[in-house]
Amino acid sequence: MVSAGTRSVPDGIDALTLHWLTSELGSDVTDVRVEQIAMDSGFSSLLYRLHLTGDGLPSTLIAKLPAVSEARGAMELLGGYRRELAFYRNVAGRAPIATPRVYAARMAQDSVDFILLLEDLQDWENADHLAGLSMDRARLCVEQLAGLHAWSADPANASALEEFPSIDTPIARDLLVPAFAPGWEVYLEKCAGSVPDRVADFAENFAQRAVTALPALTERDMLLHGDIRADNLFFNGGEMKVVDFQFAARGCGAADIAYLVTQGLRSEAREGHDESLLRVYLDHLAAQGVTDYSFDDAWRHYRYAAVYLMVLPVITLNGWEALPERSRELCLTLTDRAIAAIDEIDALEVFE
């Protein structure tokens, strides 16, 4: 049962006392040992593994709290923490997309202090975004995304979508897109390869041209994960669970698929499979009742998103000096992959 009432929200890991945990979990917690995790990859949140002692309790849980860095302010501006809490309260367990079990999802009324207590997936394999997904795992993720999108397209579930913004927001237009230019200069300085001329020309005018993708990407009203990358996927044999819903938004489902495929697969694995993976997605949508999303429309959305969503790794490069080495390599690699996909599928054609 997800708790979402008015019980006090801890303002830090030290506030997760035995009394608070016992009250929240409904079982007597006699001891807790705290271990901070994901310190080299967490950006917007702090993650801890709680080792619990007590009857009727899981041996470990994951506690997720807001960052104490400048990322906290950025997430407040983007509404990221509220989006994730809304997902775990209103969508998880209802939509056919597998997530960790949520034990608590609380947020303060007057600040962005929040707490998520989640199932610990330490026995599952966390995919590596830098290594990229296999084709089988990409198809499994496509299937689950289709489940989420189809569920959200059902008018009966419309109320669950009310707390999620459109993918086309003033913040995206006025803050994210303009931040592309300085990040692109970092990419050109640090990248190992060359950029095709058409992509380079487009990138030089990205803020003026890419923003035209946003109206197209809102032509359908589906709930998107918004950050569906390999690092947010956990696998156990043929099962998969998805985490991190801080960028959940409403728009065209093909945007999630484009981000997953063009940046989540190595270029050599993806090459020649964009259209076939999109057709797999549409087949799963149709099987769940969404039969009016044509391939032509979805392919147009896919190509718009392949270009526009290059903004995510590129703007992260603006923080180059403070980025850990793996994050630097990851942003360069994801931009490389996006460029290769844009060039191969002639994604720029939709902007002409």
Return the structure tokens found at 178.
């303009």
- Residue 300 phi/psi, 5° resolution? -65, -45
**Which region among 5-9, 114-118, 241-245, 267-271 has the lowest average model confidence (pLDDT)?**
5-9
Q: pLDDT tens for residues 149-205?
A: 999 999 999 999 999 999 999 999 998 999 999 999 999 999 998 999 999 999 999
Mean pLDDT confidence for 28-56:
87
**Local confidence band at 72 (pLDDT 50, 70, 90 cut-offs):** confident
Looking at residue 34, its pLDDT comes to 95
Q: pLDDT tens for residues 87-126?
A: 999 999 999 999 999 999 998 887 778 999 999 999 999 9
Looking at residue 111, its pLDDT comes to 77
Judge whether residue 2 has pLDDT over 60: no
Looking at residue 5, its pLDDT comes to 43
First and final CA of the chain: distance in angstroms? 50
E strand or H helix that includes residue 66? strand 60-66
Q: If DSSP codes are grouped into helix, strand and coil, which group holds residue 222?
A: strand
Provide the β-strand partners of residue 66: 45
User: Is there a contact between 222 and 251 (Cβ–Cβ < 8 Å)?
Assistant: yes
Looking at residue 41, its pLDDT comes to 57
Looking at residue 110, its pLDDT comes to 78
Looking at residue 324, its pLDDT comes to 85
Judge whether residue 274 has pLDDT over 80: yes
